[in-house]
Structure 1
């Protein structure tokens, strides 16, 4: 998702949701979300212990 603030500066949002567990795994908002940042966020999600 991307949008702009009142001053015209854009920002992007990353939302990762587990539909089966109905929980947010990540919610990140920043003025820049690079591929490196995306990979880092997804790796952090993958390193979390599984909840049963």
Structure 2
């Protein structure tokens, strides 16, 4: 994974987190965002993936 872009449920961009490709595990600190549904756009060497997550 090279980076993650995080959007709120309305599609508004919140922030980007970049990563080194050779790291085996990744963490994104979402403590500063409220409880809601978010969309993660995940960029990897294989392409782009979209995932929805719920923060409780």
**Fold similarity call, TM over 0.5:** no
TM-score by length of structure 2 reads: 0.37
TM-score by length of structure 1 reads: 0.38
Larger proportion of helix: 1
Higher relative contact order, chain-length normalized (CA < 8 Å, sep 6+): 2
Larger Rg computed on CA atoms: 1
Larger proportion of strand: 2
